[in-house]
Amino acid sequence: MSVPKAARSRAAALRAELERHNRLYYVEDSPEISDAEYDRLFRELSELEERHPGLRTPDSPTQRVGGAPLAGLEPVRHELPMLSIRTETDTEDTGAASFDARLLRELGADAAPIEYAAELKFDGVAISLLYEDGVLARAATRGDGEVGENVTQSVRTIRDVPLRLKGKAPARLEVRGEIYMNHKDFERLNQRQQAAGAKVFVNPRNAAAGAVRQLDPKLTAQRPLRFFVYGIGVSAGWKLPATQSAVLDALEKFGLPVNDERAVVKGPQGLAEYHRRIGALRERLPFDIDGVVYKVNSIELQSRLGFVAREPRWAVAHKFAAQEEVTRVLGIDVQVGRTGTLTPVARLQPVFVGGVTVTNATLHNEDELRRKDVWIGDSVVVRRAGDVIPEVVGVREQGARLPGERFEMPLRCPVCDSPVVRVPGEAATRCTGGLYCKAQRKQTLLHFAGRRAMDIEGLGERLVDQLVELDLVKNPADLYRLDIATLSGLERMGEKSAQNLFDSIGKSKRTGLARFVFALGIPGVGEEVAKILARHFGSLGKLLDADWAALAAAKEAIRKDNARRKKRDERPLAVPLEGIGPELMESIGKFVHEPHNRAVIARLTDRQDGVVFHNEKTVQRAASAKTFVLTGTLTGMSRDEARAALEAKGHKVSGSVSKSTDFVVAGEDPGSKAEKARDLGVPVIGEKEFLELLQNL
């Protein structure tokens, strides 16, 4: 049915008016109308859309109330990874100076003073918003940086996230920012929760994170979430401004909320002054921050500097000093970790520090405890910064220090009664019980099931405790032998919950090789090392059969050869497993050749009922990897998109041209890099040739 012209016109006017008032209220904090008047306009639009469903558009304010609950959150692969940023924790002067000095070494002293965009480091939840033809098409969490979760329905309910961009928006624009909660809104939320007898949230960040990942967007709509944008990802149909500060100005003109406490400064002195100013302002801000972020302002210089270890060289997060409070030690317990390490933990008189109430704080190990000379009954300084585990900094005032109040490391494991040993040359004391020790088994299973490992949703601490205490699961492979009847017999597990967990365990069988390697819990192997191993070996079989001594010797030989090649100005050879040192290689070798570990891995990958790797592939030889330099403006994709496409295929993108460069990709206005390439005899190709080459790489 056609919609009358008058109704269409009135609906468009109401949509524009309601979004204007949303911005005035949530972004500019200067409302013009009362809540009752806003509700009247909202009801009028809702009734119009009810009478004429053809008027209901994705960017309508009525779509902010939330749709039907979701069965689960779908994975979203970021076209351009959401990278982490290196963190500095030094004072404002030394932290700023060390960052600036690093960049000057990369760019050359003639680049001084470097101009920086200085911004707040919000303590919230990182989010990616994709706009197509100006309309919000998708929202995704950061996840592990490469794969996040689709949270579009939830994010639509956030009032200061524009559903449609203002002005002439790009054909495709991904913006990145932070979802957070104001202090006052958080306090009101907790008052409502308390009055309803519901869960009270620890801090605004946790409340925001839980709200964004709600399966029922109507529940998200009840949380007072807000949003700031701080950068972009992929873009098409938009000529990127020349500086980071200009990018933020442009995003603000599109109607996206950008924080005002940003500045353009020069050199280390400008950075330090900004750090001091924001530090003094921090307590008066209406939301939480845990530091500031410095970014090289020039987009061209950002491109030259590039990335290292999946972090941009051109940006750094400079955190504020950790918050500290004084409290009393009520006792000292011992926790047993996943690798069997015994950690002394102080039980504290509850104290509010760093945004949470702290009741336990780590003492790290026996040596640290002795150095700080902490006894039961002492008054101690406790420190917590961001998500870091609270720690005891030192003793403020000694207690009575009676006999029995001095801590002694136990000679046997407090969980399984196995002997403990002090590792020679290390501060660690470890339980020798292995998976026989239930504490180690529990931690191993929780790590294996974690979101960034096998991602078994619903397998939390309480369930793992039961599975281990009842001896139903002795190692991760046993998880895949559980049936619905066994699961439904556990405490607080109904038939539906058991079915959901069973399905989640089954779903986890299809995973990536890097996730599986990380999930195994090999000492020293985090997510990034697991990705390096997966890329290098390409299959689990090749990883398990690797001769680690030979690999270490080959790496050392190539390094020596490259040192000679550098002197002769020759192209260096690619170093295998770059970023993995000899000690870690030895640790990996020991783990994968230990008979018990081999048996568990064999059961996990059993052909009939085991894990299947959806991205296991033949290894691309390091010798076939090419080095590219991107210069000028590409019309079909941004330089960041081109970089991501090349790196996804195992190739390298450099910021400067040398004899080791294989291709220079020249867009419009390529500049001096193309000329230098021709002088060195390096092939220079246009965008059309590049796209053809990209398909065949």
Residue 631, helix vs strand vs coil: strand
Cβ atoms of 577 and 534 within 8 Å: the answer is: no
Q: Name the DSSP letter for residue 73.
A: P
Q: At what angle do helices 438-449 and 461-469 cross, to 10 degrees?
A: 140
Question: Considering only CA atoms, which of 330, 343, 418 is closest in space to residue 376?
Answer: 330
Q: What is the CA radius of gyration of the chain?
A: 28
- Estimate to the nearest angstrom the gap between the alpha carbon of 338 and the chain centroid: 22
Tokens 């998880």 appear where? 479
Q: Determine the Cα–Cα distance for residues 58 and 54; give it in Å rounded to an integer.
A: 11
| Cβ neighbours of 645 (radius 10 Å) | 18
Cβ atoms of 418 and 430 within 8 Å: the answer is: no
Q: Of 121, 438, 442, 555, which one is the catalytic site residue?
A: 121
Q: Determine the Cα–Cα distance for residues 38 and 620; give it in Å rounded to an integer.
A: 59
Question: Considering only CA atoms, which of 528, 532, 523 is closest in space to residue 551?
Answer: 532
Residue 264, helix vs strand vs coil: strand
Peptide bond preceding 113 in cis form (omega within 30 of 0): yes
Is 184 an active-site residue? no
Cβ contacts of residue 165 below 8 Å, gap of 6+? Answer: 131, 134, 135, 173, 254, 255, 256
Tokens 């409070």 appear where? 325
Question: Considering only CA atoms, which of 89, 103, 82 is closest in space to residue 297?
Answer: 103
Q: Determine the Cα–Cα distance for residues 441 and 261; give it in Å rounded to an integer.
A: 48
Question: Considering only CA atoms, which of 436, 420, 434, 409 is closest in space to residue 334?
Answer: 409
> What would the two tokens of residue 240 be?
């990127």
Please state, in angstroms and as integers, the Cα–Cα distance from residue 697 to each residue in 98, 300, 647, 690, following that order: 39, 26, 11, 10
Tokens 């963190």 appear where? 87
Q: Where are the alpha helices (DSSP H) in 254-343?
A: 267-281, 299-305
Beta strands 663-666 and 627-631: pairing type? parallel
Cβ contacts of residue 433 below 8 Å, gap of 6+? Answer: 340, 413, 415, 416, 418, 440
- Estimate to the nearest angstrom the gap between the alpha carbon of 284 and the chain centroid: 27
Question: Considering only CA atoms, which of 96, 501, 473 is closest in space to residue 269?
Answer: 96
Long-range contacts of 532-536 (CB under 8 A, 24+ apart): 532/577, 532/578, 532/579, 532/580, 533/577, 533/580, 533/588, 535/619, 535/650, 536/576, 536/577, 536/619
Q: Name the DSSP letter for residue 435.
A: G
Q: Determine the Cα–Cα distance for residues 240 and 633; give it in Å rounded to an integer.
A: 9
Residue 658, helix vs strand vs coil: coil
Q: Name the DSSP letter for residue 622.
A: G
Cite the active site residues. 121
